[in-house]
């Protein structure tokens, strides 16, 4: 179906420019209406883009763009409710250690911010500046790894928030410390005692229930 509409053009007396009437029903792609874009977006929630493209006889990229418009509208309607518990992490966007920060609302289980030019303190500051001082004051818990710039920025912008470190990073540091103690002990011993410690690295770093019987007895 093709819809032919005459669009009015108006000469503005203030800026002397000729402006075209703005229509509220076309999608970002003027070949489709917003209503159709939202229909496609809703269908993409329960089927793949490829299947929807085949069903509606559309190009894959056209369906993808209509889905994006639908998702942008859903985000606009949802707004940015003040998060109480946030998760802070980084994601690699290309090789050679190029990272961006991802912030999630852990109670609502959805990402709320993606940005920065890296993972420096100033990049983390960008999130809190975007969220605003009033909403920053409502954060009661921030979950993150042990990266110092994340911690410093959070303590400065949301000092009332408790900081919870990711357990995997904590366990990694504990494992490194235990291995350092094992190496130091190995250097001080000789002969039979040294042979006893040699080869026990993974026995010391593993959970007891995961050890083979011989290592567990040792």
pLDDT tens digit sequence for 168-193: 777 777 777 877 887 787 777 777 76
78: pLDDT strictly greater than 80: no
When pLDDT is averaged across residues 122-127 and rounded to a whole number, the result is 94
Burial call 62-79: b when 16+ CB within 10 Å, e when fewer = bbebbbebbeeeeeeeee
The H or E element containing residue 115 is strand 110-115
When pLDDT is averaged across residues 127-149 and rounded to a whole number, the result is 93
Confidence band of 202 (pLDDT split at 50, 70, 90)? low
Output 113 or 167, whichever has higher pLDDT.
113
Rounded to whole angstroms, the Cα distance separating 29 from 21 reads 17
Rounded to whole angstroms, the Cα distance separating 61 from 45 reads 16
When pLDDT is averaged across residues 122-133 and rounded to a whole number, the result is 94
Average pLDDT, the chain: 85
Instruction: Give residue 14's pLDDT.
Output: 87
Instruction: Give residue 144's pLDDT.
Output: 93
Confidence band of 128 (pLDDT split at 50, 70, 90)? very high
Q: What percent of the chain has pLDDT over 90?
A: 39
CATH 3.30.360.10 fits 85-165, yes or no: no
Q: Show the CA angle centred on residue 126, arms to residues 153 and 147, nearest 5°.
A: 40
Instruction: Give residue 205's pLDDT.
Output: 64
Domain segments of the chain as ranges: 9-68, 85-165, 169-217
Number of CB atoms found within 10 A of residue 153's CB: 23
When pLDDT is averaged across residues 73-94 and rounded to a whole number, the result is 85
Output 27 or 155, whichever has higher pLDDT.
155
Give this prediction's pTM.
0.55
């Amino acid at each position: 179906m093709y819809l032919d509409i005459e669009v009015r053009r108006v000469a503005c007396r203030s800026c002397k420019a000729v402006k075209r009437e703005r229509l509220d029903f076309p999608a970002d792609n003027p070949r489709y209406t917003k209503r159709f874009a939202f229909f496609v977006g809703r269908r993409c929630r329960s089927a793949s883009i490829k299947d929807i493209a085949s069903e509606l006889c559309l190009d894959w990229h056209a369906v993808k763009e209509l889905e994006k418009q639908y998702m942008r509208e859903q985000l606009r309607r949802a707004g940015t409710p003040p998060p109480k518990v946030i998760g802070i992490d980084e994601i690699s966007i290309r090789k050679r250690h190029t990272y961006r920060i991802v912030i999630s609302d852990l109670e609502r289980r959805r990402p709320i911010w993606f940005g920065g030019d890296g993972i420096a303190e100033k990049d983390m500051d960008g999130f809190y500046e975007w969220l605003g001082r009033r909403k920053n004051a409502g954060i009661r818990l921030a979950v993150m790894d042990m990266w110092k710039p994340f911690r410093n920025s959070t303590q400065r912008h949301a000092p009332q928030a408790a900081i919870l470190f990711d357990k995997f990073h904590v366990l990694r540091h504990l494992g490194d410390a235990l291995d350092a103690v094992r190496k130091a002990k190995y250097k001080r011993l000789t002969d039979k005692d040294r042979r006893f410690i040699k080869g026990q690295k993974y026995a010391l770093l593993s959970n007891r229930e995961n050890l083979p019987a011989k290592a567990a007895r040792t």
